[in-house]
Chain A
């Protein structure tokens, strides 16, 4: 074309570039492929990978969770629902006064940011490297205590004092943000919203079955 510059015309006939390209693609054919064929070959995750949650226990088998709801407050996705209850003297679930009667995480809402982990004063909630939780039903992705709480034989851990980063002090900002959300308004569609509404209406509290 007449308005095309010489540079353009040169590109059209740049056989050297085409040959170079062809040799490149040909040599790439025999290179080692970086693909990890996932279901049959599994890669080792980083130890601090943010995956499925886990509720931990103390070495004596008592639940770490004291039902303080700090994780639920810190959660930016409103994925966590905690309803605490007083420990009965004859059946103590946790070392403190209270324990989580219900503890449910909507893994579909969760963004795996790990803020719950940072907010927890007793290191009860942690993110594990487990990530394969796909299911055909949405309901199956609401993890309750029966699936979150580690079995007593598996769960022994360090006390919260040994936590290297300590407990984050600045929870106020997160708390205020939660205040802007009214439970009665756009909140109902979530699992957490429904549970809390039920709870406020004074319906009987049905603790989710746990394994202990």
Chain B
């Protein structure tokens, strides 16, 4: 083992994770179209391959062969760069997320970072730049409106989201994702942090610009929002980034509130079994996303802001204070 240089191990891990994550993206997209179809009494895509299983491949080929347009009014460099900012930040988080662990505590992740949760929030915050720069550089009004909305929305919801997560950090007494999962060995944090969990779910939907908080790309008002002018592969990159963010947020919910790779009721699980638990939990969360999208209509923008600042943030702060007091009173 020691003969293999560390960079090679990391490289292999990174490639494997990337491959798995992109595949997950492709099939979560298919799952979304399928599930939404079922909920709307349609069969969903079922023409390409058995049960529509090759639909993602067909979509990818279509995206690649579409013309890549740049509007005359656009700022060419930033316009071309913005999708990559979105995608790279979306992919970056998967370097830190542990998917399972060995019995000796070794995490199944590309890199084990002490302040993992902080780093993930730092990386996802940069993702806003992708969207706002895309809207700004497109040089037309709808993308600009979309990107302004996204900036406002993401900033105001990120606050509440971080607040809801700090409660978990206080309970776990650590910012390393492995330790947070380890602390949920007996009791998932969803029980003591139920308020935080609810706030996390709401803000996570808003963070990833998904319905009912998809004001950034509100089709009825803003054509396509920030990606109105994008086409072809560059549009595809935004698309991938959106779904990767969804997966990230689902993984985080699993790690922070649903016990990560631990089984329910104190059932210890490691290795592959842990991975199965992790995938099931994250998958349920992804399903919830799709479910929510096919159920709820879009929020009005001012209500979204009101809700974020006047409800979520105070409640999250209150929850944080109560958690802190409870932890301080109870001897460790």
Which residues in A have some Cβ–Cβ distance to B below 8 Å?
A: 1, 12, 18, 21-22, 24-26, 28-31, 33-35, 37
Q: Known contacts A28-B41, A29-B38; can you find 8 more A-B pairs with CB under 8 A?
A: A21-B295, A22-B291, A22-B292, A24-B295, A26-B39, A29-B39, A33-B41, A33-B43
CA gap between A107 and B332 in the complex, in Å: 84
Given contacts A1-B302, A12-B303, A21 and B296 within 8 Å (CB-CB)? yes
Counting contact residues on chain B (CB < 8 A from A), the size range is: 10 to 19
Kindly list chain B residues whose C-beta atoms are within 8 Å of the C-beta of A26.
Answer: 39, 291
Question: In the complex the two chains form, is B35's CB within 8 Å of A29's CB?
Answer: yes
Q: Judge whether B23 is part of the interface by a CB distance below 8 angstroms.
A: no
**Docked complex Cα distance between A24 and B40 (Å):** 10
Contacts of A22 in B (CB 8 A): 291-292, 295
Q: Which residues of B contact A (CB under 8 A)?
A: 35, 38-43, 46, 291-292, 294-296, 302-303, 306-307, 311
Dominant secondary structure of chain A at its interface with chain B: helix
**10 closest Cβ contacts across the A-B interface?**
A29-B38, A25-B39, A25-B295, A21-B295, A33-B43, A28-B39, A35-B43, A29-B39, A22-B295, A25-B294
Partner among B40, B46, B291, B306 whose Cβ is within 8 Å of the Cβ of A1? B306
- Summed over the interface, the residue pairs from A and B with CB atoms below 8 Å come to a total of 40
Which B residues lie within 8 Å of A37 (CB)? 43, 46
Closest to B47 in A: A37
> Given the known A-B contacts A1-B302, A1-B306, are A25 and B291 also in contact in the complex, defined by CB atoms under 8 Å?
yes
Per the bound structure, the CA–CA distance linking A12 and B294 in Å amounts to 18
State the Cβ distance, A68 to closest chain B Cβ, in Å.
48
B286 to chain A, nearest CB (A): 15
Contact of A33 among B38, B292, B302 (CB under 8 A): B38
CA distance A18 to B198 in the complex (A): 14
Contact yes or no, A31 B41, CB < 8 A? yes
Q: How far is the CA of A11 from the CA of B307 in the complex (A)?
A: 12
Expressed in whole angstroms, the minimum distance between the Cβ of A98 and any Cβ of chain B is 51
Query: What would 13 A/B residue contacts be, using CB atoms closer than 8 Å?
Result: A1-B303, A12-B303, A22-B295, A25-B39, A26-B291, A28-B38, A28-B40, A29-B39, A31-B41, A33-B38, A35-B41, A35-B43, A37-B46
